[in-house]
Amino acid sequence: MKEMIASSRLHGVVVAVPTPLMEDETLDTDSFKSLIDYCVDQGADGVMILGAMGEGAALTDDVRSEAMDVATGHIRGRIPLLVTVSGASTKRTIAYAQEAAGLRPDYLVCTSPFYYKFPDPDSLVGHVQRVSESTDIPLVYYNAPGSTGNPADANTIDRILQLPGVSGIKDSSCQFGIVSELLRRYPDPATRPGTIMQGDESVYDASLLMGADGVVTGGGVLFIPRLKSLYEAGKAKDIARAMEIQTAFTGELMEVLLPDLARNWMYRIKQRLVDRGVIAHATATAPFLTS
């Protein structure tokens, strides 16, 4: 399986999209389709649904199921689709994974379990292994300790990369040392055990210049062409250009999220998509603030 994954490695700018909702928090199907089309037209190299930006842990199971069905039916193989299946336990995550696998997305994505603490690396490695073995869909491990409360160091993530069903990792730990260490261990993208994607939007330039396969972005849904240019500059090892684009991107993103980044970031990103006519409503799952 690793050989098959290596031949079609995930790369480029993968957009972790928000989930468009009606005022009652049901799925806005038309807006979801419009958002997928927008990402494709803007040049995204993949779309990830139901992650942190997609409010996956906050949606009801009915809305999650509908979102998976709509996305897999509408994207029609135009670009890779990644479906996040994270749950608070291994059994729940496997249930989500098997449901998603029935719709045949290109990749599944899972974090560590959340709510409970699992400090032993064996717990996390065993969790990812069991989830990956539960389907035949390649799995991407999503390191998001800020959301899950369960961090993983470079050695643990390296163990996860070696698992047969794991095709790569997305690191959103905001600890650049983790990604940089993995890139030092595997400097040649062609021979890595899996793809290495950076999820920390503040260090996309440095990660790409070091050889990361690409980036996964939430707020970057508003700036896909700029991030495509950053990806190309990073892959070309054009240091000055990559830093210039990163600086511009960071400034634009902060204009959206500030002055209080933590207060209503979900709503502010959705509202910009409303302003652009991409989606119809800026509704976010309660208790996100929408003002």
Q: How many CB atoms lie within 10 A of CB 214?
A: 27
Domains of the chain by residue range: 2-275
5 pLDDT band, cuts 50/70/90, is: very low
User: Given pLDDT bands bounded at 50, 70 and 90, which one contains residue 262?
Assistant: confident
For the chain, strand residue ranges (E) read 12-16, 46-49, 81-84, 107-110, 139-143, 166-171, 195-198, 214-217
**pLDDT tens, 155-207?**
999 999 999 999 999 999 999 999 999 999 999 999 999 999 999 999 999 99
Cα–Cα dist 149/237, whole Å: 35
Share of the chain above pLDDT 90, in %: 95
Question: Does residue 7 surpass a pLDDT of 50?
Answer: no
The pLDDT tens digits of the residues spanning 108-156 come to 999 999 999 999 999 999 999 999 999 999 999 999 999 999 999 999 9
CATH number attached to the domain at 2-275? 3.20.20.70
Across the chain, what does the average pLDDT equal?
96
- This model's pTM is above 0.85: yes
Number of other CB atoms surrounding residue 181 within 10 Å:
16
